[in-house]
């Protein structure tokens, strides 16, 4: 693999290596940091933070005192983090933003040719890209799948959704698609739902998430420079948005109750692995993917017989299985990596699924356009939560917000002036995706002023207002605008224990 960035050569490389983002190929401020910061971590991070869009700087609300060095002391720069170079082929929400980007171009911040060409021997890249979001691919993929009305998406849809949510995946950088495919194939928490059971080798299948196999540790925000610049922007943990109240236990599963499916579950890779069975994800009625997905599906969604779903027949290689062995996992519930996969166990196993109307064809990515019926479903059955990313258009409506964040007394209704629809660039995320949300009309012109009052949008800060011993799901309140979606009561923790996804950071 080629090295994307040369080693720092100007100043304080050690300090930067300690405090800055190591993924040099992900981030573009290293050079700036090298130029401006003394060999001190905090300063280096401050320097890095200077590249946040100015509207983000205004929105830096409440610095967490427990991590003084992890956050900039103050952010004064108006230089956009992502605004310095307009990527060729990138799509900004509107021309105004594009103009702003042109104005703020000062030096290259993209990982592109120019940077690579400065390194002797470095392989030249013909792409530029934004800093990677501080979430693993698994988390992002899971999120877009779980927020889909039917909890399953084709690859092209996944790519589309991810690229919509995260500016990192815009522009001419295409390698992330490989990573998405790689993750889909590698993590066994992703289930391939065959479009045509008669064609197990067919393409364009759906991908779903088996929540019980999701390594929870990978849902946490990663410690990247992007996240360090303002820890309040990105949610600390995507688990609530992916699990959506599903309790994922780490202890060994209880003896499986009678199967809830009508057809054999074609998920077993190893028909007789006693040792593995100890860690095999639950297939009981509560946590089996069949049950989970079925229960999670909004009532308005087409009633797909998920009992006919089956795990893909792929024989996964032993090594890159990436299953659930998170490094510091303390509550990971997924099974350990499969140690022995028999190809024959999987070949010929075809999941079955009732094809939906209009889903027979394959979806191309570039010319992706959701089927009409799917768009309609999306408009009417979008999940009532919102993504806890900096790109979030609005807040999770069902979460409890502090009084300052409430709107007419409602939970997490947008503040006056709307919510900070900020992305990496200077431009708020234009309302163009997952429209139909009841909150959108409240947003002024679909935009949010850069002067919007500081606002905490991430779940972690919201949780600060949640009473002790109450998880966010304890206070899930169906709202009018989401009356079509009623989280299954068995998955809302009415009085149960904390979701152990909220450690005291």
Residues with Cβ < 8 Å from 204, sequence gap 6 or more? 154, 155, 156, 195, 361, 362, 363
Q: Which is nearer to DNA, 62 or 201 (CB)?
A: 201
Q: Which is nearer to DNA, 374 or 437 (CB)?
A: 374
* Dist. CA 17–CA 41, nearest whole Å: 9
* Dist. CA 161–CA 433, nearest whole Å: 9
Q: Which is nearer to DNA, 198 or 258 (CB)?
A: 198
Nearest-approach distance from CB 248 to DNA, in angstroms: 15
Nearest-approach distance from CB 200 to DNA, in angstroms: 9
Q: Which is nearer to DNA, 289 or 466 (CB)?
A: 289
Nearest-approach distance from CB 253 to DNA, in angstroms: 20
Q: Which is nearer to DNA, 138 or 382 (CB)?
A: 138
* Dist. CA 23–CA 43, nearest whole Å: 19
Q: Which is nearer to DNA, 1 or 65 (CB)?
A: 1
Nearest-approach distance from CB 1 to DNA, in angstroms: 3
* Residue 281 · residue 264 · CB < 8 Å: no
How many degrees, rounded to 5, is the angle at CA 106 between CA 53 and CA 425? 25
The conformation of residue 208, written as its DSSP 8-state character, comes to E
* Residue 133 · residue 226 · CB < 8 Å: yes
Q: Which is nearer to DNA, 55 or 151 (CB)?
A: 151
Number of residues in the chain? 505
Q: Which is nearer to DNA, 199 or 373 (CB)?
A: 199
Residues with Cβ < 8 Å from 393, sequence gap 6 or more? 386, 419, 421, 429, 431, 434, 437, 439, 440, 443
Q: Which is nearer to DNA, 178 or 251 (CB)?
A: 178
* Residue 284 · residue 326 · CB < 8 Å: no
Nearest-approach distance from CB 163 to DNA, in angstroms: 12
Nearest-approach distance from CB 485 to DNA, in angstroms: 27
* Residue 154 · residue 146 · CB < 8 Å: no
Nearest-approach distance from CB 312 to DNA, in angstroms: 5
Q: Which residues contact DNA (rule: CB under 7 A)?
A: 1-5, 17, 21-26, 123, 125, 132, 135-138, 154-156, 159, 173, 175-176, 178-179, 181-186, 192, 196, 199, 201-205, 207, 215, 217-218, 222-223, 312-317, 319-320, 322, 325-328, 337, 343, 361-367
Q: Per-residue b/e over 476-505, b at no fewer than 16 CB within 10 Å?
A: beebebbeebebeeebbbeeeeebbbbeee
Nearest-approach distance from CB 268 to DNA, in angstroms: 15
Nearest-approach distance from CB 192 to DNA, in angstroms: 6
* Residue 236 · residue 220 · CB < 8 Å: yes
Nearest-approach distance from CB 2 to DNA, in angstroms: 7
The conformation of residue 324, written as its DSSP 8-state character, comes to S
Nearest-approach distance from CB 198 to DNA, in angstroms: 9
For the chain, the distance separating the N- and C-terminal CA atoms, rounded to the nearest angstrom, is 35
The CA distances from residue 264 to 278, 290, 364, in Å, are: 20, 11, 32
* Dist. CA 476–CA 198, nearest whole Å: 41
* Dist. CA 3–CA 122, nearest whole Å: 7
The conformation of residue 14, written as its DSSP 8-state character, comes to H
Q: Which is nearer to DNA, 150 or 363 (CB)?
A: 363
Nearest to 143 by CA among 178, 190, 186, 175: 190
Q: Which is nearer to DNA, 193 or 401 (CB)?
A: 193
């Amino acid at each position: 693999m080629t090295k994307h960035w040369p080693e720092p050569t100007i100043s304080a490389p050690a300090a930067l290596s300690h405090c800055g983002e190591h993924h040099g190929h992900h981030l573009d401020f290293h050079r700036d940091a090298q130029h401006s910061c003394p060999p001190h971590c905090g300063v280096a991070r401050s320097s890095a933070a200077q590249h946040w869009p100015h509207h983000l700087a205004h929105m830096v609300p409440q610095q967490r005192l427990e991590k003084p060095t992890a956050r900039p002391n103050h952010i004064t720069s108006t230089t956009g983090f992502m605004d310095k170079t307009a990527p060729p082929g990138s799509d900004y929400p509107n021309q105004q933003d594009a103009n702003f980007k042109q104005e703020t171009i000062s030096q290259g911040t993209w990982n592109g040719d120019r940077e690579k060409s400065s390194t002797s021997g470095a392989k030249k890249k013909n792409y530029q890209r934004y800093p990677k979001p501080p979430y693993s691919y698994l988390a992002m993929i899971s999120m877009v799948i779980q927020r889909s009305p039917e909890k399953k998406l084709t690859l092209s849809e996944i790519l589309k959704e991810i690229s919509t949510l995260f500016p990192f995946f815009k522009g001419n950088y295409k390698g992330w698609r490989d990573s998405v495919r790689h993750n889909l194939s590698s993590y066994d928490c992703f289930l391939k739902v065959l479009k045509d059971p008669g064609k197990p080798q067919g393409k364009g299948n759906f991908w779903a998430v088996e929540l019980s196999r999701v390594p929870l540790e990978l849902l946490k925000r990663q410690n990247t420079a992007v996240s360090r610049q303002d820890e309040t922007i990105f949610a600390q943990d995507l688990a609530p948005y992916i699990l959506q109240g599903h309790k994922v236990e780490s202890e060994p599963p209880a003896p499986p109750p009678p199967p809830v499916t009508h057809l054999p579950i074609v998920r077993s890779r190893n028909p007789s692995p006693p040792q593995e069975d100890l860690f095999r994800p639950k297939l009981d009625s509560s946590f089996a993917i069949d049950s989970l997905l079925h229960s999670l599906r909004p009532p308005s969604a087409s009633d797909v017989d998920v009992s006919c779903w089956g795990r893909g027949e792929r024989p996964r290689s032993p090594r890159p299985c990436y299953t659930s062995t998170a490094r510091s996992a303390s509550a990971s519930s997924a099974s350990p990596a499969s140690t022995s996969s028999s190809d024959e166990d999987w070949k010929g196993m075809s999941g079955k699924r009732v094809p939906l109307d209009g889903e027979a064809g394959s979806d191309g990515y570039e010319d992706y356009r959701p089927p009409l019926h799917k768009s309609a479903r999306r408009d009417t059955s979008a999940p009532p939560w919102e993504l806890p990313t900096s790109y979030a258009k609005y807040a999770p409506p069902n979460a409890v917000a502090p009084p300052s964040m409430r709107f007419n007394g409602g939970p997490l209704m947008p503040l006056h002036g709307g919510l900070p629809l900020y992305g990496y660039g200077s431009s708020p995320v234009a309302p163009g995706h997952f429209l139909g949300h009841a909150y959108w009309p409240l947003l002024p012109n679909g935009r949010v002023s850069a002067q919007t009052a500081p606002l905490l949008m991430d779940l972690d800060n919201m949780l600060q207002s949640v009473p002790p011993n109450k998880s966010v799901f304890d206070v899930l309140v169906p709202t009018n605008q989401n009356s079509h979606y009623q989280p299954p009561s068995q998955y809302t923790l009415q009085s149960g224990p904390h979701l152990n996804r909220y450690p005291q950071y």
